[in-house]
């Protein structure tokens, strides 16, 4: 797909999100959450390119969310909290990454899972600081120094999430096409060769890992400021599984996949929960099964195939 | 040190006993997971759900038996029967309908199939058994307590946790080791684990071996849940908790022999029990800390062999 | 001619098998040195040791006068030693062009983070490289869709893209259809001579050795059993019979081919 087509698609997508949020006010919240998760999923996609599945990326999302929650009582300013929390997540990603990029496949996946579970239980057990499973409620934050109404703040967060999504989407698209991104994909097929070309596979993976932590951090910060409530559940392993779920649902073949997947996931979740309160998880599971069995390229792959068929017809 | 021991000796003893019985249940789940991963190369996330369903099924069967006024001792074989039923009914269905269809696909898709299955089974449990805790402690009451002499004191401990749980785990360990080494079917499983293509070339029906292994693994998970059901009440989320713990055991042990899973389960079970008694904040964290430390020193796991690629 | 690579007293054993049991070997700048010997003798092990993939239990290797043992493969690559593989190590989900471009980018690094791999300078060089190897028509194929001969050439091309001073090739013609073998050798000779690369190659096909090598080393029982120009080695009945169990080449191409099969 050409670059201009993709830019056009991205803008149409953004317009659709805004239109939806405007037409159905309560969807504004859902869309913001979806984009926030999409940002984290973009990081999962990056690691999937290297053939690695992290079952612990909720760690970075939750870390940034709690960073915002703690920070909001000191500096309740969105445009300060967000970058600081995201950078914090990236820094944590660097420290953890130095350790985990030495491992591959199940060891990589399980170490990520283990570390996120450690963070989860820290959040859960140290009640005095984190209020345990009750979590922390966030005070309202200002936006560029302005105290906004709830409505305006909601819009501000959506637009912010949208801008971050567009920015990171473009960044990751370029990154994947660059030697760095291509070497990353080389880890999946022939890491030994990289080493014999003078490239350290670990460093290539580390760069991607830190970037993925940064994006998950942005997602977590947006999530925290939108829901205004953080709980340890954000870091539980199922939350990490959800991110991988969305990556596959949307399709790992394009940077559109994560956002498409996240929007579809959140909408399905909201409607399934409204329809059958006790079985929304089951419905999501079934949707995922259908996608894997019948459309392994995810929603994005499905869309592309449809487009190609129409064009050839 | 002496002081500490005399003050905490009892706790230490109790923690050890608890740890042993806990390790027994963890071993049952982890060894099945390890077996399945060896043959299918899929880390089955739904394995924990099979544990939970095994537990619920055992509790239901036991409650059903007592509601009919049948003899209480039947609740003991009922544990095994329930687990076997779960394994035989669900195992082949999952393997045939889902896992076989993604054979040869990207590993992440295979992994996600089991995640999807996990989500489905989690809700299914809630629909069938509700969200209230389910308890059936007939086997525990039946066997009563044992007073274990400990220095000047005695530690009261349930006979069930002291004998039945570790006993069955030990039987499983010995039986499985014998099965894998001495029987034809077992050797086929080992052959497929080591090199699927080579095993196929030797005329081994890999599809059959896969089915057999998955069913056995499912039954082992269900048995773990069934055995734990009389001592721990069943609540939603127990499957999710169990599976991450088994992941920790499998990753710590590395891919390899069943003995590896046993030793690691013991290590992690005891570690967790000590945490429960001495540093309860660390309870959930201990298995992961053990895992991270082990992998720092031995990247292939305690019992795994480092993979050298031919180039 | 100066010594480019020098191995002294290399020892390594796998279980009971002594793959190297006191190997002394000098590679001279500019030469093509063939290593022949029975399967499993340790020839590939030599390449693995010289490129940092395996560490010998004893001995030393110096390159251009500097000790290189203990360096990671990628440091050794940066020092100027590249290698190709018996089983081609290509990025199977990338195209041939991308494979070549990635090798070129690896040499050229550091990378501008967001400039595409197939930017003009990398693409041009990759196309030129593939053209020299006769692979340009296959440039847009995925690497896993190539036949064995093309994969082998692509594998070597990626090593050549690194512009090494010393190239170690592990059975460059194994798996290549026998009809194409000599063409592959011609291509290789031309490319390597053009770029003034010193080459060491492990080979089973005596015809290829005769055509390609300046010197031949015979590896057997962990030692260098004989070393000399191909005319001498390939016509030494004792060496051939005792070490690799093949009939001498030189009576005609037919015997050469049979010899190659006997040794494989």
Closest Cα of chain A to B137: distance in Å? 28
B266 Cα distance to chain centroid: 12
Q: Is residue C245 part of a domain?
A: yes
Please indicate, yes or no, whether residues C195 and C72 belong to a single structural domain of this protein: yes
C134, B124, C25, C18: which is closest to A278 by C-alpha?
B124
Q: How many CB atoms lie within 10 A of CB C79?
A: 17
> Which chain A residues have a beta carbon less than 8 Å from that of C98?
182
Q: Judge: C114–A188 Cβ closer than 8 Å, yes or no.
A: no
Please indicate, yes or no, whether residues C199 and C76 belong to a single structural domain of this protein: yes
Contact B75, B136 (CB under 8 A): yes
Please indicate, yes or no, whether residues C54 and C180 belong to a single structural domain of this protein: yes
CATH number for the domain spanning C194: value is 3.40.50.300
Q: What is the mean pLDDT of residues C74-101?
A: 94
Q: Judge: A293–B102 Cβ closer than 8 Å, yes or no.
A: yes
Residues 20-39 of B with CB under 8 A from A: 37
Closest Cα of chain B to A168: distance in Å? 23
Domain positions in chain B are 27-130+139-235
* Number of domains comprising chain C: 2
Which pLDDT belongs to residue A128?
85
A91-119 confidence digits (pLDDT tens): 999 999 999 999 998 889 989 999 999 99
A283, A260, A259: which is closest to A271 by C-alpha?
A283
Please indicate, yes or no, whether residues C73 and C111 belong to a single structural domain of this protein: no
> Which chain C residues have a beta carbon less than 8 Å from that of B310?
87
C142, two tokens: 């995925």
C204-260 confidence digits (pLDDT tens): 888 889 888 999 999 888 889 889 999 888 888 877 776 556 555 544 433 333 333
What φ, ψ does residue A173 adopt, rounded to 5°?
Answer: -60, -45
Please indicate, yes or no, whether residues C30 and C131 belong to a single structural domain of this protein: no
Please indicate, yes or no, whether residues C110 and C58 belong to a single structural domain of this protein: no
C51, two tokens: 């490129």
Please indicate, yes or no, whether residues C43 and C173 belong to a single structural domain of this protein: yes
Q: Is residue C152 part of a domain?
A: no
Least confident segment among A107-111, A164-168, A309-313, B255-259: A309-313
Please indicate, yes or no, whether residues C127 and C244 belong to a single structural domain of this protein: no
Closest Cα of chain B to A151: distance in Å? 35
Contact B248, B292 (CB under 8 A): no
C89, C51, C64: which is closest to C6 by C-alpha?
C64
pLDDT surpasses 90 at C77: yes
- Note the pTM of the prediction, 2 decimals: 0.92
Q: Judge: B310–C87 Cβ closer than 8 Å, yes or no.
A: yes
Q: Is residue C153 part of a domain?
A: no
Separation between Cα atoms, residue A112 and residue B293, nearest integer Å:
14
A198, A35, A228: which is closest to A136 by C-alpha?
A228
Per-residue confidence in pLDDT tens, chain B, 311 aa: 567 766 777 788 888 888 998 899 999 999 999 999 988 888 999 999 999 999 999 999 998 998 888 888 888 899 999 999 999 999 999 999 999 999 888 888 999 999 999 999 999 999 999 989 988 888 888 888 888 887 777 888 888 888 889 999 999 999 999 999 999 999 999 998 888 888 888 889 989 999 999 999 999 999 999 999 988 889 888 998 889 888 889 889 987 678 889 999 999 999 999 998 888 888 888 999 999 999 999 988 888 877 666 66
A27, two tokens: 């969807």
Subunits in contact with chain C (3 or more CB pairs closer than 8 Å): A, B
Instruction: Give the SS3 label for residue A229.
Output: strand
Separation between Cα atoms, residue B254 and residue B260, nearest integer Å:
8
Reading phi first (left if > 0) and then psi (alpha if -120 to 50, else beta), residue B232 is in beta
Residue in the block written with tokens 């120009």: C229
Separation between Cα atoms, residue B144 and residue B157, nearest integer Å:
9
Residues 276-305 of B with CB under 8 A from A: 280-281, 283-285, 288-289, 291-292, 295-296, 299, 301
A223-250 confidence digits (pLDDT tens): 999 999 999 999 999 999 999 999 999 9
Closest Cα of chain B to C149: distance in Å? 17
DSSP for chain C, written as a single string = --EEEEEEEEEEEETTEEEEEEEEEEEETT-EEEEE--TTSSHHHHHHHHTTSS--SEEEEEETTEE-TT--HHHHHHHTEEE--SS----TTSBHHHHHHHHHHHHH-SPPTTS-TT-HHHHHHHHHHHHHTT-GGGTTSBGGGS-HHHHHHHHHHHHHHT--SEEEEE-TTTTS-HHHHHHHHHHHHHHHHHTT-EEEEE---HHHHHHH-SEEEEEETTEEEEEE-HHHHTT-HHHIIIII--PPS-S-HHHHHHHHHHH-
Which residues form the domain of C101? 91-145
Q: How far apart are the first and last CA of chain C?
A: 33
ipTM: 0.89
């Amino acid at each position: 797909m050409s670059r201009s087509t993709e830019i056009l698609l991205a803008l149409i997508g953004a317009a659709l999100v805004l239109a939806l949020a405007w037409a159905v006010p309560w969807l504004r919240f859902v869309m913001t959450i979806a984009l926030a998760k999409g940002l984290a999923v973009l990081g999962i996609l990056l690691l999937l390119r290297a053939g690695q599945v992290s079952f612990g990326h909720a760690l970075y999302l939750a870390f940034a969310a709690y960073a915002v929650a703690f920070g909001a009582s000191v500096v309740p300013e969105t445009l300060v909290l967000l970058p600081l929390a995201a950078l914090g997540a990236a820094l944590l990603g660097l420290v953890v990454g130095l350790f985990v990029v030495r491992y591959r496949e199940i060891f990589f996946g399980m170490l990520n899972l283990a570390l996120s579970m450690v963070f989860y239980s820290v959040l859960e057990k140290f009640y005095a600081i984190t209020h345990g499973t009750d979590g922390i409620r966030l005070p309202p934050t200002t936006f560029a120094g302005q105290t906004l109404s709830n409505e305006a703040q909601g819009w501000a967060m959506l637009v912010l999430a949208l801008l971050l999504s567009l920015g990171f989407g473009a960044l990751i698209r370029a990154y994947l096409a660059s030697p760095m991104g291509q070497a990353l994909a080389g880890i999946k097929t022939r890491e030994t060769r990289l080493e014999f070309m003078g490239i350290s596979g670990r460093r290539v993976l580390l760069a991607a890992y830190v970037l993925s932590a940064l994006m998950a951090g942005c997602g977590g910060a947006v999530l925290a400021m939108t829901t205004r409530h953080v709980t340890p559940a954000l870091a539980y392993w199922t939350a990490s599984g959800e991110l991988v779920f969305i990556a596959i649902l949307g399709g790992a073949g394009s940077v559109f996949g994560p956002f498409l997947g996240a929007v579809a996931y959140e909408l399905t979740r909201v409607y399934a929960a409204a329809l059958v309160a006790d079985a929304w998880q089951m419905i999501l599971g079934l949707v995922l099964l259908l996608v894997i069995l019948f459309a392994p390229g995810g929603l994005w792959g499905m869309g592309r195939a449809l487009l190609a068929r129409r064009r050839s017809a | 040190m002496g002081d500490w021991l005399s003050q905490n000796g009892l706790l230490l003893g109790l923690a050890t006993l608890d740890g042993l019985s806990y390790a027994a249940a963890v071993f049952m789940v982890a060894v099945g997971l390890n077996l399945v991963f060896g043959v299918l190369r899929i880390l089955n996330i739904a394995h924990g759900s099979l544990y939970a369903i095994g537990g619920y099924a055992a509790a239901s069967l036991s409650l059903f038996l007592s509601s009919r006024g049948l003899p209480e001792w039947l609740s003991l074989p009922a544990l095994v029967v329930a687990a076997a039923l779960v394994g035989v009914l669900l195992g082949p269905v999952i393997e045939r309908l889902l896992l076989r269809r993604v054979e040869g696909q990207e590993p992440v898709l295979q992994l996600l199939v089991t995640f999807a299955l996990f989500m489905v089974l989690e809700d299914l449990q809630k629909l069938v058994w509700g969200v209230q805790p389910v308890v059936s402690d007939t086997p525990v009451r039946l066997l009563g307590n044992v007073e274990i002499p400990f220095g000047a004191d005695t530690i009261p401990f349930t006979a069930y946790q002291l004998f039945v749980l570790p006993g069955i785990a030990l039987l499983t360990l010995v039986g499985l080791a014998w099965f894998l080494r001495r029987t034809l079917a077992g050797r086929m499983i080992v052959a497929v684990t080591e090199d699927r293509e080579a095993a196929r070339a030797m005329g081994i029906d890999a599809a059959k071996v896969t089915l057999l292994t998955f069913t056995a693994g499912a039954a082992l998970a269900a048995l773990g849940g069934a055995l734990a059901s009389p001592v721990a009440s069943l609540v939603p989320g127990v499957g999710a908790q169990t599976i991450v713990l088994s992941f920790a055991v499998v990753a710590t042990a590395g891919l390899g022999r069943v003995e590896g899973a046993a030793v690691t389960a013991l290590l992690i079970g005891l570690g967790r029990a000590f945490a429960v008694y001495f540093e309860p904040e660390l309870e959930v964290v201990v298995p992961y800390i053990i895992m991270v430390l082990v992998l720092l020193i031995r990247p292939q796991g305690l019992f795994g062999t480092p993979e050298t690629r031919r180039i | 001619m100066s010594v480019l690579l020098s191995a002294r007293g290399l020892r390594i054993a796998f279980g009971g098998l002594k793959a190297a049991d006191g190997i002394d070997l000098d590679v001279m700048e500019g030469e093509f040195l063939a290593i022949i010997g029975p399967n499993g003798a340790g020839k590939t092990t030599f390449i693995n040791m010289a490129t940092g993939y395996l560490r010998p239990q004893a001995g030393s290797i110096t390159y251009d006068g500097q000790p290189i043992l203990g360096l990671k493969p990628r440091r050794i690559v940066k020092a100027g030693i590249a290698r190709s593989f018996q089983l081609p190590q290509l990025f199977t989900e990338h195209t041939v062009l991308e494979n070549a471009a990635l090798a070129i980018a690896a040499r050229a690094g550091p990378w501008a983070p967001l400039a595409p791999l197939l930017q003009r300078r990398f693409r041009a060089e990759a196309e030129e490289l593939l053209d020299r190897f006769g692979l340009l028509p296959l440039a847009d194929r995925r690497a896993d869709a190539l036949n064995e001969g093309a994969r082998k050439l692509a594998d070597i091309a990626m090593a050549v893209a690194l512009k090494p001073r010393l190239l170690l090739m592990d059975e460059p013609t194994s798996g290549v259809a026998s009809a194409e073998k000599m063409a592959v050798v011609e291509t290789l000779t031309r490319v390597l001579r053009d770029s003034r690369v010193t080459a060491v190659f492990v080979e089973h096909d005596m015809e290829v050795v005769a055509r390609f090598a300046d010197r031949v080393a015979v590896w057997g029982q962990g030692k260098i059993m004989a070393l000399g120009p191909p005319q001498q080695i390939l016509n030494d009945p004792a060496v051939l019979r005792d070490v690799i169990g093949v009939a001498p080449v030189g009576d005609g191409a037919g015997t050469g081919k049979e010899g190659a099969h006997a040794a494989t």
